[in-house]
Every structure is written in C-alpha cells, then in structure tokens.
Structure 1
Amino acid sequence: MADETRTLEWIEQVAEFFTRQEGLPPITGRILGWLMICEPPEQSAADIAGAIKASRASMTSNIRTLIAVGLIRRRTRAGERTAYYRIDDDAWEAAVRRRIEGMVEFEGITARGLTLVGADSDRASRLHAAYDVYRRVGKAFSHLEGAGGPG
C-alpha cells in the first residue's frame, strides 16, 4: 500500500506539472504519469483508469488528446477488440521539437505583425517584446538538428 501511495503521489506531481506547464486537465497528466512507469508498457483504458483511480468515461477524450499531440499511441492486438496505449521513447523528443518549431513559427508571425503595423509605430511595442523573446529562443535552439530554427 505504501508503494501504491507513493506511486499515486508521483503521478499527481506529473499531473500538476502538465496542468501548470501545458494547460492540460489533471486527468490527462495522470494518464501520462501512469504510462511513464506502468508495467507492461501497453495498457488498456480500463487498466489506466484502475491504476489512477479514474472513471473509464473520463479516459476517452483525454486519451484522444494525448494521441492527437503525439505523446501516446494506440495499438490493437490480433484477435482482440481492446485497444492498448503506450508512450514511445521518442515521443518526448518529438514533443519538444514541436514546441521549438512552434516558437520559431511564432517569431515569424510576430515579424509579419511588425511589418503590418510598422516596426517604428507606437503600436509595435508589444509585438517587439514578443518578437525579441521568440527570436532569442529560436537562436538558442537553432543548433539542434531538425529543430526548425533558422540555419
């Protein structure tokens, strides 16, 4: 029981992190937390619900969200109707790369906004603030292969 309590506490830390950092509902973070440490690594929705003490009804939309963002994938087994879910080892790198690419993309959007309103206009100060931050982030990550940064 102590191990289960510690496991659930850790899963809750994961949930709180993803709620705070990504705006995900806590249940979504709990699903991720469980799938990071569960054995076997592929779990059915019922397995996940039982492990994190959630209703099966809450699983469907949250699992769909995680599939859509590429953090988990769905698998079926021949002769079974049950779907199983897992986190692949490369899911985290892909998620971080998508985040970096999004930052670089927003740098371009803010640059176009500066062109639209005039870089020296009074209206441009908020755009400059965003552009400068996203440009620095883009430069910081541009050395990563495939990160979407300039050069």
Structure 2
Amino acid sequence: MADKSYALEIRTPEKLVFEEQVSSVTAPGVEGNFQILADHIPFLTILTTGVINIQTMDGDRSLATSGGLFEVLSGRVTALLDTAEWSDEIDVERAKASRNRAKERLTSRAGDIDEIRAEAALKRALIRIKISSL
C-alpha cells in the first residue's frame, strides 16, 4: 500500500456514503476503469455502472454504483454517485431476481420493451452480484 494518502468523499443524493483518507481508488469511467493515487492532477469525469474499489488504511472495500461524477481537485477526491451499495449491503437474491427479469425482458423482444433500460438493469444486477462475493 502506498505511504501517501488523500481525502475521498463519496455522496449520493440521499447521504454521505464515505469520507476517509485513502491510498487509492479505482472507478469505472466512460472510457474504462481509472485509478487515482495521491497527488493526482485535477481531473473530472463521468462514471458508468460498475465497481469502485477503495484502498483504505484499514484494507480494501468495494462499492457498486450506477454512475455519477468524479472529481479530483486540490488534493481532494469527490464522487457524486447516482447510487452506491457496499458489497456487504447487497441482497444477492434480489440482485439475481433483477438479473432474471432483465434477461426475460431482453429475450422477449416485445414491442413495448425499452431495450436500453433493460440492458442497464441487467448490467446493474450483474455488478451487484459480482461484488456481493468480494
């Protein structure tokens, strides 16, 4: 683990999810995953559905998100997320049911199905299932 640390703040519209010193964070950007270490240059990007991996002084933590904004400015890192769920908060059975519903919608190809929403729901469910085992 790196000796240097920086302040990471993660928020959703509902609450402050995380605020702590960290040594590294890896997040899902629109052009792929990226990693932020201490002393990173100013940076602003859009996050997509995926896993945010955080290295704290006490160990690693994983968080599922459905997207948001990510900013590095003046040695402080802020993530403003649409949704955030820690791996130990995920209801695996509910995530599997969501996955199955999304798959059914996509395979039915009924005219009234919004494929983009169904694909997004499937991706969210798969991410939630993936990190629940971390």
Same fold (TM over 0.5): no
Higher relative contact order (CA 8 A, sep 6+): 2
After TM superposition, the score normalised by the length of structure 2 is 0.28
Which structure has the highest helix share of the two? 1
Greater radius of gyration (CA):
1
Q: Which has the higher strand share?
A: 2
